[in-house]
């Protein structure tokens, strides 16, 4: 009863603020907490709703972040894929966009990681922090496997959690004052990391380029290798071969011209060789196959597309002792300092996997997986060629670069997604030189590759 009286009192009290109490029934009047007034009406006055204010710090935003255009390419594709799935929840969407591997990691490699993992639960096998530059056995194996007879030793190797991460660490080492050049089109991380570091000007909407970046045009007409006679001098030159996204691999003569160009201009080449094991002809797999390259180039690479390590995360960067800044200070010493400051070394379990990759059995297993993806590439290339499209890449890389002349690459991306439920990558996401192209990834299960190609044929027959 006491609770009932309390509730009644509360209800009556709150009501009295809005209702005239005259002529109320006796039961309600007896429970009112405020005596009834004799006035016949109550005037209601609207009180302004107090606006919510969001607390803000006094720390200004990094102005360079505001220069970035929209989202990073691949998360944007993922967002559009998610929107498409909301529209077509029952569709079987096939992803041939982001270059993410799909086939299982070979047993010989995972068993090496498992053994190291289990060893960590023993006193004898446990290890904590390791060398930030990587474990000596893995560094030695990388040097002997990929750089034998090229004058690269284990002391030149820095093991990391992936080439993409090293690209940003290199940018920190170079600083905001340097100028840089990129292939156009090229992997977006080169440009975006430069923007974030403050090396560029604002984005120029009319031409689709950032100010202060030298875009080296790579087209079918020039064999996807830039005309260096038209390229302005820059401090840093980002160069990827085999190239992502075009799939083109630079020839030995072309790389000789690039090294000479860098030497004549006193530039540093950041050479991305993440797809080197896909090269099936006599084109170089490393920039250090070119005489004089150690004086003007460093090289970054990865186990991601060889061993399915996109989730494991393991890569490396080679910084030769011969590579010097203008004051004679070794680039490797500064990069080592950045690594020691910003990084605690790659996972010891991942490094055990890397060592297993470079065993004779591991190398054989990786080549088998790479061969599988290259077969996928041939299927995709044959499909688009049979439909009358000009198709590039494929031979030395897991990407097919399909030309849709006169069309917006985002429009083609949307058309393919809407009508076939297949995700590709719009070429313009790699730079203005990619407009009119779409990149199709060969990373996929064979059934999905065949089904995607069947859908392509239905759409463009």
Q: What is the pLDDT of residue 291?
A: 98
Q: Provide the pLDDT for residue 89.
A: 96
Confidence of residue 253 (pLDDT cuts 50, 70, 90): very high
Answer yes or no: same fold for 71-103+363-460 and 107-362: no
- For the segment 156-170, the average pLDDT, to the nearest whole number, is 98
Instruction: Decide if pLDDT at 126 tops 90.
Output: yes
Cβ-based neighbour number of residue 117 at 10 Å: 16
CATH T-level fold of 107-362: 3.40.640
Greater model confidence, 40 or 51: 51
Q: What pLDDT, on the 0 to 100 scale, is given for residue 46?
A: 58
Decide if 182 contacts 236 (C-beta within 8 A): no
pLDDT at residue number 41: 52
Rounded Cα distance, 276 and 278, in Å: 5
**Percent of residues, the chain, with pLDDT higher than 90:** 86
In whole angstroms, give the CA distance from residue 96 to residue 439.
Answer: 9
Comparing CA positions, the residue from 298, 269, 21, 293 lying closest to residue 157 is 298
Three-state SS string across the chain, please?
CHHHHHHHHHHHHHHCCCCCCCCCCHHHHHHCCCCCCCCCCCCCCCCCCCCCCCCCCCCCCCCCHHHCCCCCHHHHHHHHHHHHHHHCCCCCCEECCCCCCCCCCCHHHHHHHHHHHHHCCCCCCCCCCCCCCCCHHHHHHHHHHHCCCCCCCHHHEEEECCHHHHHHHHHHHHCCCCCEEEEECCCHHHHHHHHHHCCCCCEECCCCEECCEEEEECCCCCCCCCCHHHCCCCCEEEEECCCCCCCCCCCHHHHHHHHHHHHHHCCEEEEECCCHHHCCCCCCCCHHHCCCHHHCEEEEEECHHHHCCCCCCCEEEECCCCCECCCCCEHHHHHHHHHHHHCCCCCHHHHHHHHHHCCHHHHHHHHHHHHHHHHHHHHHHHHHHHCCCCEEECCCCCEEEEECCCCCHHHHHHHHHHHHCEECEEHHHHCHHHCCEEEEECCCCHHHHHHHHHHHHHHHC
In this predicted structure, what is the pLDDT of residue 24? 37
Query: What's the confidence (pLDDT) of residue 128?
Result: 95
pLDDT (tens digit per residue) in 173-194? 999 999 999 999 999 999 999 9
Would the pLDDT of 19 be above 80? no
Distance linking the first and last C-alpha atoms of the chain: 82
Per-domain boundaries in the chain? 71-103+363-460, 107-362
pLDDT (mean) for 191-205: 96
Instruction: Give residue 50's pLDDT.
Output: 64
Query: Count of CB atoms within 10 A of residue 349's CB?
Result: 17
Cβ within 8 Å of residue 145, ≥6 positions away: 358, 363
Confidence band of 23 (pLDDT split at 50, 70, 90): very low
What CA–CA distance (Å, rounded) separates 378 from 269? 31
Residue 98 CA to residue 85 CA, distance in Å, equals 17
Mean pLDDT, the chain, integer: 91
**Gap between the Cα atoms of 167 and 299, Å rounded:** 10
Backbone angles phi, psi at 347, to 5 degrees: -50, 135
Give CA separation, 295 vs 151, 181, 264, 299, 356, in Å: 12, 18, 12, 12, 31
Q: Which pLDDT does position 48 carry in this prediction?
A: 62
**441 phi, psi to nearest 5 deg:** -85, 145
Let me know: does 129 contact 298? Beta carbons within 8 Å: no
Cα-based distances in Å from 460 to 60, 91, 327: 51, 20, 58
The residue with tokens 């031409």 is 207
Instruction: Round to whole Å and give the CA distance between 428 and 409.
Output: 6
Question: Which residue from 327, 304, 300 is spatially nearest to 314, judged by alpha carbons?
Answer: 304
List, for residues 68-111, the tens digit of each pLDDT value.
987 778 888 999 999 999 999 999 999 999 899 999 999 999 99
pLDDT recorded at residue 73: 87
pLDDT at 402 over 50: yes
- Contact in structure between 288 and 294 (CB atoms under 8 Å): yes
Please report the pLDDT score of residue 49 as a whole number.
65
pLDDT at 12 exceeding the cut of 90: no
pLDDT score of 31 more than 70: no
Top-confidence residue, 232 or 34: 232
d(CA 167, CA 281): 27
| CATH code, 71-103+363-460 | 3.90.1150.10
pLDDT tens digits, 324-381: 999 999 999 999 999 999 999 999 999 999 999 999 999 999 999 999 999 999 999 9
């Amino acid at each position: 009863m006491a609770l009932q009286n309390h509730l009644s009192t509360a209800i009556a009290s709150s009501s009295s603020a809005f209702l005239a109490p005259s002529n109320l029934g006796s039961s309600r009047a007896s429970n009112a907490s405020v005596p009834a007034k004799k006035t016949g009406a109550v005037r209601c006055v609207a009180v302004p709703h107090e606006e919510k204010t969001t607390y803000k710090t006094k720390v200004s935003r990094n102005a360079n972040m505001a220069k970035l255009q929209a989202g990073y390419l691949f998360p944007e594709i993922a967002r559009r894929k998610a929107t498409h799935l909301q529209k077509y929840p029952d569709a079987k969407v096939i992803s041939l966009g982001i270059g993410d591997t799909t086939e299982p990691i070979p047993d010989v490699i995972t068993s090496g990681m498992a053994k190291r993992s289990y060893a960590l639960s023993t006193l004898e096998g446990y290890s904590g922090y390791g060398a930030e530059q990587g474990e000596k056995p893995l560094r030695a194996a990388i040097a002997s496997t990929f750089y034998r007879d090229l004058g690269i030793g284990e002391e030149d190797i820095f093991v990391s959690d992936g080439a993409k991460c090293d690209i940003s660490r290199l940018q920190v080492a170079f600083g905001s004052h340097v100028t840089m050049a990129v292939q156009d089109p090229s992997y977006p991380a080169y440009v975006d990391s430069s923007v974030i570091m403050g090396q560029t000007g604002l984005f120029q909407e009319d031409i689709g380029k950032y100010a202060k970046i030298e875009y080296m045009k790579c087209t079918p007409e020039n064999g996807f290798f830039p005309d260096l006679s038209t390229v302005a001098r820059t401090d840093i030159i980002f160069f990827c071969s085999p190239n992502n996204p075009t799939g083109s691999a630079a020839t030995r003569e072309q790389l000789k011209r690039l090294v000479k160009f860098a030497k004549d201009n006193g530039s540093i080449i950041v050479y991305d060789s993440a797809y080197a094991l896909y090269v099936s002809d006599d084109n170089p797999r490393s920039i250090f196959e070119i005489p004089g390259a150690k004086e003007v180039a460093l090289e970054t690479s990865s186990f991601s597309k060889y061993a399915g390590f996109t989730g494991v995360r393991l890569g490396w960067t080679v910084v030769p002792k011969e590579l010097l800044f203008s004051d004679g200070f070794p680039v490797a010493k500064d990069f080592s300092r950045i690594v020691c400051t910003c990084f605690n070394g790659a996972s010891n379990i991942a490094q055990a996997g890397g060592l297993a990759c470079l065993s004779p059995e591991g190398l054989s297993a990786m080549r088998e997986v790479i061969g599988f993806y290259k077969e996928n590439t041939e299927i995709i290339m044959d499909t688009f060629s049979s439909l009358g499209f000009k198709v590039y890449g494929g031979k030395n890389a897991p990407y097919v670069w399909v030309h849709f002349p006169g069309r917006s690459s985002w429009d083609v991306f949307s058309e393919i997604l809407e009508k076939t439920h297949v995700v590709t990558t719009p070429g313009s996401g790699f730079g203005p030189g990619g407009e009119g192209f779409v990149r199709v990834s060969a990373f996929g299960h064979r059934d999905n590759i065949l089904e995607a190609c069947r859908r392509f044929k239905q759409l463009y027959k």
